[in-house]
Chains A and B, each alone.
Chain A
Amino acid sequence: MKLGDRLRRTLGEATPEGTAPGSPLRDELERYGKLRERAAAAARGELGEAVSLAAVSDGGLIETPRGPAWVVDTRFELTHLHGTRRIGTFFDTELEHLPALVADERLHGRDARQALFLDIEATGLDHGAGTHAFLIGWGRLDGQELLVRQALLREPAEEEAVLQLLVDELERDPLLVSFNGKSYDLTVLQSRLVIQRFYHRTDCDLKLRPHLDLLHLGRNLHRGRFPDTRLGTLERQLLGFERIDDVPGHLVPSCWFHFLRSGDAGPLGGVLLHNLHDVVSMVTLAERLAHEALPLADPTRDAAVSANLARLLLRRGMPGPAREVLAPHTPHGLEPDGLRSLVTAARRSGDAAGYRAALETLVRAAPEDAAALGSLARLLARDADTLGRAVELAERAWKAHPSRVAARRLAMMRRRLAAASPPSPAEPEELTR
């Protein structure tokens, strides 16, 4: 018996319609509102002709040394508004402050006009060798326009050609900009470049190129403000851009598989639009984040963002700029987190008066912050005039967090107070034990 026959008999025939077992495309599509009718019609076999790629998008073929690649180019005037923001603004934005802020020296001397916004759609979320980037979208400045090019695999064999286009683009030595590219897009592309033998030795590592990952910057600046910091959320909250009928991310691979198996490009139209939005949103998001990340006093910046920025600056060892960033909000516009940054910034820049003022504000805003209470107590204990208040604060610190350090500090301050003045009330029992 032939091997193929044995396989069919032992492991089972394929299900009809050529859909893969374990990826019930029809069920998924039914949940995807816009395609519900199409999918139902397809399931009833009433759809007739499959929708061609040309019908969903006006792309075309480009010849490369490695064969033809199917590409859609979309151009935007720089005055184009994406949501509430003008896309051209980014290309005039100063980026010099970013290398220090994201701790990546490779960004030094990079100009916004060199940016290449990169976003892929791939067949799975794991980074393994079998994950294909079936759609690669990139946007860059082209004369007085933003050019977004999307290269789609009509079939896996076109990957070499598509990657060739990307490699050509990389020859211009751009500044890569992505959203989560560090752990996803660049990882998948690196793997594809290795498999298609563009890269042979490890020194051709995509990840060694200058790259700004907006996910990390966005997360750092907007931490705690929204339920999450996904691109969709940031678009809505920061860019005034709302997607309508967007293809949910988890359905994206199914749309391509469906096209591959049936030739029906219907669902791919939505994926191309999804990817286009991702790329354009990155342009305006990058502009907004770069602007927000300027280490300067900016009263129009949201106090919470300033607090996040100050914390980031402190982490990068820049207490001076951190104080400057917080200055317009000081003290009452700041939440305890921002105040804590302010305290640290003042202490690290050696400003004793500022430090004390910031601590005073912080213990008022967060009356149970044991660390702040303790710090302020220590500061006040240096002066005999404020020793009484120091003891009171040390007591509060001990109550908020009864640690051994707090207990020792309190006991010591009490002894000093007792030595300097009439006897104080009995020490708490726990402390004498």
Chain B
Amino acid sequence: MSTSTLLPRRSLDDIIEGLTGGGAQASNVTGHFVTPARLPRHGVFPDALHPLLLQALRARGIERPYTHQAAAIAAVLAGRHIVLTTPTASGKTLCYNVPVLDRILRAPESRALYLFPTKALSQDQYSGLHELIEATGAKVGTFTFDGDTPPDARKAVRDHGQIVITNPDMLHAGILPQHTRWLKLFENLEFIVIDELHTYRGIFGSHVAHVLRRLLRICAFYGAHPQVICCSATIANPVELAQTLTGLDLELVSDSGAPTGEHHLVCYNPPVVNRELGIRAGVVRTSYRLAAELITQGVSTIVFAGGRLQVEVLLKYLREAMVAAHQPPDLVQGYRGGYLPLHRRRIEAGLRNGTVRGVVATNALELGLDIGSLDACIVAGYPGSIASLRQQSGRAGRRQGKSLTVFVARSSALDQYLVTHPETLVGASPEHARTNPRNLFVLVDHVKCAAYELPFEPNERYADLSEAETAEVLAYLATHGVVNESAGRWHWTERVFPAHHVKLRGIPEENFVVIDVAKDKVLAEVDFRSAHMTLYEHAIYNLDSDQYQVERLDYDNHKAYVRRVEPDYYTTALTESRVGVLDEEGIRPAGPVSLAHGEVLVSLKVVGFKKIRFHTNENVGYGDVVLPDLEMHTTAFWLTLPDAVLAELPGDREAAIDGLAGLSHALHTTACVELMCAERDIGRAVGDRSAGIFVPLELRPGPAAEAPASEFAPTIFLYDAMPGGVGLAEEIHKRAPELLARTLSLLEGCRCEEAGCPACLGALPGYDGRARTAAVALARMLAQALTE
């Protein structure tokens, strides 16, 4: 072993020691977890594997599989569907490539379909698979089929592709609706490989579940019953997720036999810089300092940042730090979406030969990374899920020797919760990947697509619907003239191509364009919902650290006209949500309060904006905004308190209402933790439901004065922030007791002690102890009522 690989080990030890050993930084470290090294455990390849394949594996240096690989291969050869969840870089691809190639080498007419969530991953997979096939010396037609496949090559893929690598979007709009042209594939389809399974969650996952059901429905038409092989990052419910997505029974393979070195996870909370507002040092600056220290001392390091802008800033800072330390700035490289494979290969090679030592990547790229293993990983801000955090962390991890991951928390409530409860991040994954294929919007769209693909047979059951439910949906579509019932079968009778109107990755509302009036040039596109928050008139719109002011918003034509300015402030939108209950289910009284969940109509209104001065963050003015409401039909959980409960709280009425708002904030934070979703996935509103439609409390000049006390019914809503919902509300309802217990401990245990801070009560107008006292009293009362 050369000194260049020995040296970093020692520095890494020093740095770990510096962080955790009681030095200056140690007060910021809230958690330190060590995973001990693990030796490899090997199995054997089945003797029955095709000799060419065994020979190819040996040629590539694989004499024996790890135990999990052997188990997976054996299960697939025995004809079972499997889900594989082993850590990053444990050799998952071998688990499906071996059985697939074995089958194709024996029966060349066999076909396999590989699904990856992104095009870039498909390309990576293609090159890896190609090398293995080359080594067998056999000809196996392997093609990627996506939007980039030229039209004249498509026929070749359809006719000769033994392994077709694609993504859900292409399957949905380019393959399934044209299935009659893919006769060879569907009649002979033996394997469906679904990699990065855990990314198919939320609304995207709900769509993908339908795409997969449609795929299996078409396979059944052609008499094919393919085996399904899923691979997932570590989540709490891989089998449940795979079953929801495919409707099949799958066997779990999760015990990794791959070796790992000793791994340290350090949770780092930047120091408080403004005690009153509870604001901490920025995550970018803190991450930069840590990364610079690691890289200059020779430790290969990857930094994951939240967005493109943060990547650019970190890259700039780190390169400056290299120059200051008399090291070449090229030692640090960016790694963003949109990089060409060749460029990425160059960075990967640089990491191996030592010409690159630091990489700054966006969260979005955690999946596509194939850059070997590094010594250290810095996660700058919670990436939105523990699975993501672990996947990022997995990039630091040698098969031998130590590695380090530092999670640096932002000031936001969720990050703060996690960094102060670091045990949440380790151990068995608490994280459930959720999808809701019964989301009506999604469901109806895909029933249409399915009807387009094949007529519905009499008594057919679609996906997880019952016969009767399937018939109800079809009857509904028939009243709209979309399908026609003829002799018991339902046929598609529209001239449009439904898959073109169904986007798997979000609502296809038209974007707004941002136009620079001075240059008459389009600067950017902003999605429909965000436009309401960022493009109102007089808003300061930030782009690549330049500021523009919105001069005019042409709402009907989706255009915002902006002019470059250099203000000393930025703007944030003030919004209010109103929630109207459409359907109430599962009402559960608990002492004086009642809990329920059901369908709601949420309307979000931007009522105005605040001007906030840069650096000092002081409020320097307000403005009005007049924009149409954003309406969304979704599901919500709610909790209604009788007025009498509020009246019994310590402090006056104002404190009680502030306490209620603060409690809703803490509840939101703990719900995000408990359900392991990003903060934006759950919406929050506090209101009075006595009026039928829920008027936000803050808007009422004197709630008690206006309505008779008996009718005033303050309510906290937590709603699914996706149209139709992905099942979060029902889950919150189910877990309400744990959630309130957790909320109580958050409020009681917050280090702000008395006043309240963004990490517990949220951004209240002015913190005072009375609101916190009221919130704690409420939480205690609720937690108690629910456990009884």
Which residues of A line the B interface, CB within 8 A?
Answer: 1-4, 6-11, 13-15, 18-23, 123-124, 126-130, 132, 155-158, 190-191, 194-195, 200-202, 253-254, 257, 260-261
Q: Which residues of B contact A23 (CB under 8 A)?
A: 481, 494-495
CA of A6 to CA of B444 in the docked complex: distance in angstroms?
11
User: Does the CB pair B469–A3 fall under 8 Å?
Assistant: yes
CB-defined contacts of B178 to chain A, threshold 8 Å: 127-129
* A18→B183 contact, CB < 8 A: no
A130 to B451, CA, bound (A): 7
Chain A residues with Cβ below 8 Å from B441 are 10-11
Inter-chain contact B486/A261, CB cutoff 8 Å: no
Partner of B497, one of A15, A126, A191, A202: A126
Asked whether, in the complex, the Cβ of B633 is within 8 Å of the Cβ of A10, the reply is yes
Beyond A4-B473, A157-B489, whether A194 also contacts B180 by CB under 8 A is yes
Chain B contacts for A126, CB-based, 8 A: 177, 497
- Residues on B with C-beta less than 8 A from A128 are 177-178, 452-453, 497, 499
Given contacts A10-B440, A191-B181, contact A156 B480 (CB under 8 A): no
Taking CB atoms, residues of chain B closer than 8 Å to A156 are 455, 484, 486, 489, 491, 493
Pick the contact of B472: A3, A158, A257 (CB < 8 A).
A3
| Interface set, chain B 476-501, CB cutoff 8 A to A | 476, 479-482, 484, 486-487, 489, 491-499
Q: With A and B bound together, what is the CA distance between A31 and B489 in angstroms?
A: 33
**Also in contact, A4 and B476, with CB within 8 A (given A23-B481, A23-B495, A124-B496):** yes
Residues of B within 8 A of A254 (CB): 495
Instruction: Collect the chain B residues with CB atoms within 8 Å of residue A257's CB.
Output: 481, 493-495
User: Chain B interface (Cβ within 8 Å of chain A)?
Assistant: 177-181, 183-184, 187, 440-441, 444, 451-455, 465, 469, 472-473, 475-476, 479-482, 484, 486-487, 489, 491-499, 582-583, 599, 633
Q: Specify which of B454, B469, B482 is in contact with A195 (CB 8 Å cutoff).
A: B454
Instruction: Looking at the assembled complex, report how far the CB atom of B388 sits from the nearest CB atom of chain A, in whole angstroms.
Output: 32
Question: Nearest CB to that of B469 among chain A residues?
Answer: A3
Of all chain A residues, which has the CB nearest B490?
A: A156
Cβ-defined contact, B481 with A124, below 8 A: no
Beta-carbon contact of B472 and A190 below 8 Å: no
- Having A130-B177, A261-B484, one finds 18 other A-B pairs with CB under 8 Å, namely A2-B472, A3-B473, A6-B440, A10-B599, A10-B633, A11-B444, A20-B480, A21-B480, A127-B178, A132-B493, A155-B486, A156-B489, A158-B486, A190-B180, A191-B180, A195-B455, A200-B187, A257-B495
- Residues of B within 8 Å of A11, CB to CB, are 440-441, 444, 476
Closest Cβ neighbor of A190 among chain B residues: B180
Tell me whether B452 and A130 are in contact (CB under 8 A).
yes
**Is A124 within 8 A of B486, CB to CB?**
no
22 chain-A/chain-B pairs, Cβ below 8 angstroms: A4-B473, A4-B475, A4-B476, A7-B473, A9-B582, A10-B599, A11-B441, A11-B476, A18-B479, A18-B481, A20-B482, A22-B496, A23-B494, A127-B178, A129-B179, A129-B452, A129-B453, A156-B486, A157-B486, A157-B489, A195-B180, A201-B183
Would you call B177 and A129 a contact (CB within 8 A)?
A: yes
Residue of A nearest to B633 (CB): A10
Which residues from A are CB-within-8-Å of B451?
130
Taken together as a complex, chains A and B put the C-alpha atoms of A6 and B725 apart, in Å, by: 14
Is there contact, CB below 8 Å, between B440 and A124? no
A130 contacts across to B, CB distance below 8 A:
177, 451-453, 492, 497-498
Minimal beta-carbon separation of B702 from chain A (angstroms): 35
Q: Closest residue to A7 on the B side, CB-wise?
A: B476
| A19 x B481 contact (CB < 8 A) | yes
Assembled-state Cα–Cα distance A202/B498 (Å):
27
- The residues of A that contact B494 with a CB separation of less than 8 Å are 20, 22-23, 123, 257
Chain A residues within 8 Å of B486, by CB? 155-158
**B180–A129 contact, CB under 8 A?**
yes
Q: Give A155 Cβ to nearest chain B Cβ, in Å.
A: 4
Q: Judge whether A202 and B184 touch: CB under 8 Å.
A: yes
- CB proximity of A162 to chain B, nearest CB, Å: 13
The answer to whether B177 touches A1, judged by C-beta atoms less than 8 angstroms apart, is no
Contact A202/B452 with A4-B472, A7-B440, A124-B497 known, Cβ cut-off 8 Å? no
In the complex the two chains form, is A124's CB within 8 Å of B495's CB? yes
Please name the residue on chain B nearest to A14 by beta carbon: B479
Partner of A123, one of B179, B472, B495: B495
Cα A195 to Cα B179 in complex, Å, equals: 9
Q: Provided the pairs A11-B440, A156-B455 are in contact, do residues A260 and B183 lie with their beta carbons within 8 angstroms?
A: no
Report Cα–Cα, A422/B204, bound state, in Å.
83
Cβ of B749 to closest chain A Cβ, rounded Å: 41
Cβ of B440: which chain A residues have Cβ within 8 Å of it?
6-7, 10-11
Report A129 CB to chain B, min CB distance, Å: 5
Chain A residue numbers with a CB within 8 Å of B492 are: 130, 132
A26: min CB distance to chain B, Å: 13
> What 6 pairs across the A-B complex have the smallest Cβ distances?
A130-B452, A20-B481, A157-B487, A4-B472, A156-B491, A14-B479
CA distance A224 to B532 in the complex (A): 52
- Tell whether A253 pairs with B495 under 8 Å between CB atoms, given A1-B583, A11-B440, A157-B487: yes
CA distance A191 to B486 in the complex (A): 19
Neighbouring A residues of B498 by C-beta, 8 Å? 130
Provide the residues of chain B in CB contact with A253, threshold 8 Å: 495
A201 to chain B, nearest CB (A): 7
CB <8 Å contact, B484 and A260: yes
Q: Return the chain B residue nearest A250 by Cβ.
A: B495
CB of B179 within 8 A of CB of A132, answer no
CB distance from B471 to the nearest CB of A (A): 9
Shortest C-beta distance, B159 to chain A (Å), equals 8
Question: In the complex, what residues of A have CB within 8 A of residue B497's CB?
Answer: 124, 126, 128, 130
A6 to B472, CA, bound (A): 10
Given contacts A128-B497, A129-B180, contact A8 B452 (CB under 8 A): no
Measured between beta carbons, the chain B residues less than 8 angstroms from A155 are 484, 486-487
B587 to nearest A CB, angstroms?
14
Q: How far is the CA of A3 from the CA of B472 in the complex (A)?
A: 7
A201 to B109, alpha carbons, bound, how many Å?
A: 12
A7–B441 Cα distance when bound, in Å, is 9
Query: How far apart are the CA atoms of A128 and B481 in the complex, in Å?
Result: 19
A153 nearest CB neighbor, chain B only: B486
**Which one of B481, B487, B633 has the greatest number of beta carbons of chain A within 10 Å?**
B481
CA distance A14 to B481 in the complex (A): 8
A401 to B473, CA, bound (A): 67
Best-buried of B179, B479, B582 by chain A (most CB within 10 Å): B479
A253 to chain B, nearest CB (A): 5
Would you give the shortest CB distance from A256 to chain B, in whole angstroms?
8
* Interfacial chain A residues near B177, Cβ < 8 Å: 126, 128-130
**Which of A2, A10, A13, A130 counts the most chain B CB atoms within 10 A?**
A130
Contact present for B452 and A7 (CB under 8 Å): no
The residues of A that contact B480 with a CB separation of less than 8 Å are 14-15, 20-21
Q: Which residues of A contact B455 (CB under 8 A)?
A: 156, 195
Q: Which residues of B contact A202 (CB under 8 A)?
A: 183-184
Q: Which residues of A contact B633 (CB under 8 A)?
A: 10
Name the A residues within 8 Å of B469 (CB-CB): 3
| Docked complex Cα distance between A11 and B482 (Å) | 14
A260 to B491, CA, bound (A): 11
Report yes or no: A132 in contact with B491, Cβ–Cβ below 8 A. Answer: yes
Q: Which residues of B contact A13 (CB under 8 A)?
A: 479
- Min Cβ gap A29→B in Å is 15
Chain B residue with minimal CB distance to A12? B480
CB distance from B158 to the nearest CB of A (A): 10
* Whole-angstrom CA separation of A2 from B599 in the bound complex: 13
Please, how many angstroms separate the alpha-carbon atoms of A328 and B380 in the complex? 82
Provide the bound-state CA to CA distance between A11 and B187, in Å. Answer: 37
What is the bound-complex CA distance between A126 and B499, given in angstroms? Answer: 12
Q: A173 to chain B: closest CB distance in Å? A: 23
The CA-CA distance from A129 to B182 in the complex, in Å, is 11
Please, which residues of chain A bring their CB within 8 A of the CB of B487? 155, 157
Query: Could you say which residues of chain B place their CB within 8 Å of the CB of A1?
Result: 583
Closest Cβ of chain A to B204, distance in Å, is: 20
Distance of A252 from chain B, by nearest CB (Å): 10
CA gap between A20 and B183 in the complex, in Å = 32
